[in-house]
Amino acid sequence: MNNKIVLAYSGGLDTSFCIPYLTKEKGYEVHTILVNTGGFSPEELRAVSAKALTLGAASHRNVDKSGEYYDKCIKYMLFGNILKNNTYPLSVSSERAFQAMAVVLYAKEIGAGAIAHGSTGAGNDQVRFDYFVGVLAPQMKIVAPIRELKIARRDEIEYLAKNGFEYSWEKAKYSINQGIWGTSIGGVETLKSLGELPEEAYPHPQTKNGTEVVTITFEKGQPVALNGEKTDPLGLISALREIAAPYGIGRDVHVGDTIVGLKGRVGFEAAAPMILIKAHHLLEKHVLSKWQLYWKEQLSNWYGMLLHEAQYLDPVMRNIEAFLDDSQHRVCGTVSVRLRPFSFSLMGCESPYDMMNAKFGDYGEGTTAFSGADVEGFTKILSLPIKIIYSQEDEKHN
């Protein structure tokens, strides 16, 4: 029997419990991997590596997939202005596809016979990990200790303590998944339909007051400069988060339908994604036609839903991405955003492709593009089908 198993490791309580449990109780040779999609600093990565080895992992590897995650996913979520249920920017759920694919690749590389994850039996992540393993490595066994044991977080801490590993309950009180596209936060307050997360649950405390203005420049839909300073998109997202998160911007609670059929609530903090999505959408309103905007919204809603429900590998996703790519050629310009505690507002934009062009007229004021007589004739033609319907109704009643 091949007892080599790869564990998708985050450094959190659930996956930390899995290492000694799989080693001591199940007899596996555990090899951990952390797939960084932009949520870890170099110091944090070193700490996670040391922690995995201390807990009993035979080896640990950190893999950086942040560039691939941006190029193949974040970019399209931004192009699509995707907010699930008009609220949630898919901060963590979108990462899971790239993390799961990297875990499968690593398991194949080292010749493992099984893959483990720390998902519970009531959430979405178990489906996502199982799905990608099932598609990409159907020969490998899937082991999910938290799901199989139905174990509570306090019991996990107790088990770790019995095996010589201390873990603070205060640290484990909230389940926090931090990534470049935002951070999800689960806790006792989100288990019921009423309740809000306390200030201390958020990774970035609100420390800034007053207001400030930031400018974001887009080229073909991608963010390329912050306050006039050019940078790569991932660097811009990180820099914008550092400016905006201390205002408490981007906090909310998402309520939605899970893949497993339950309704669920989760808190999140996503200052940079929320600002970028709203700024990008504003620019699109100025430079795209109404039918481009309409069909983008329809396809983007499907893209977000399918991504959330683990369907990233479906070929239709590549079809939608091709549409989104093609829609961004004119999405160029600079958007000004005013930041303030717990909120922000869009001040407007400048673009060489702005269709709000004074050369053709000012809405509500005057225009040289058509005359009043043109409007009279246009309105007669526009209203003709409804006139016919209403005339028939009048004939019936008479």
Chain mean position to CA 31 = 28
pLDDT tens digits for 277-298?
Answer: 999 999 999 999 999 999 999 9
Question: Is residue 181 helix, strand or coil?
Answer: coil
pLDDT number for residue 376: 92
Average pLDDT, the chain: 94
pLDDT number for residue 363: 67
- 4-69+85-177: CATH superfamily: HUPs (3.40.50.620)
pLDDT number for residue 396: 74
pLDDT number for residue 333: 98
Backbone dihedral region of 333: left (phi > 0), alpha (psi from -120 to 50 degrees) or beta?
left
pLDDT tops 80 at residue 366: no
- Give the mean model confidence (pLDDT) for residues 113-135: 95
pLDDT number for residue 361: 61
Confidence of residue 358 (pLDDT cuts 50, 70, 90): low
pLDDT number for residue 39: 86
Minimum mean pLDDT among 18-32, 220-234, 384-398: which range? 384-398
- Is the model more confident about 369 or about 17? 17
pLDDT tops 70 at residue 1: no
251-257 vs 229-230, strand pairing mode: unpaired
pLDDT number for residue 395: 74
Which of these, 286, 302, 299, lies nearest to 354 by C-alpha position? Answer: 286
**Residue boundaries of the structural domains of the chain:** 4-69+85-177, 181-350, 365-398
Whether CATH 3.90.1260.10 fits 181-350: yes
Sign of CA pseudo-dihedral 227, 231, 233, 235: negative
Q: What residues pair up with 141 in beta bridges, in sequence order? A: 114
pLDDT number for residue 364: 63
What does the radius of gyration of the chain's CA atoms come to, in whole angstroms?
25
Q: How far apart, in whole angstroms, are the C-alpha atoms of residue 308 and residue 93?
A: 6
- Residue entry with tokens 């620019």: 283
Q: What residues pair up with 114 in beta bridges, in sequence order? A: 5, 141
Tokens representing 374 are 């043109």
Confidence of residue 167 (pLDDT cuts 50, 70, 90): confident
Give me the DSSP letters along 308-358. Answer: HTT-TTSHHHHHHHHHHHHTTTT--EEEEEEEETTEEEEEEEE-TT-S--T
Minimum mean pLDDT among 84-93, 212-221, 274-283: which range? 84-93
pLDDT tens digits for 21-54?
Answer: 999 999 999 999 999 999 899 999 999 999 999 9
Confidence of residue 169 (pLDDT cuts 50, 70, 90): confident
pTM of the model: 0.92
pLDDT number for residue 319: 98
pLDDT number for residue 38: 92
Confidence of residue 170 (pLDDT cuts 50, 70, 90): confident
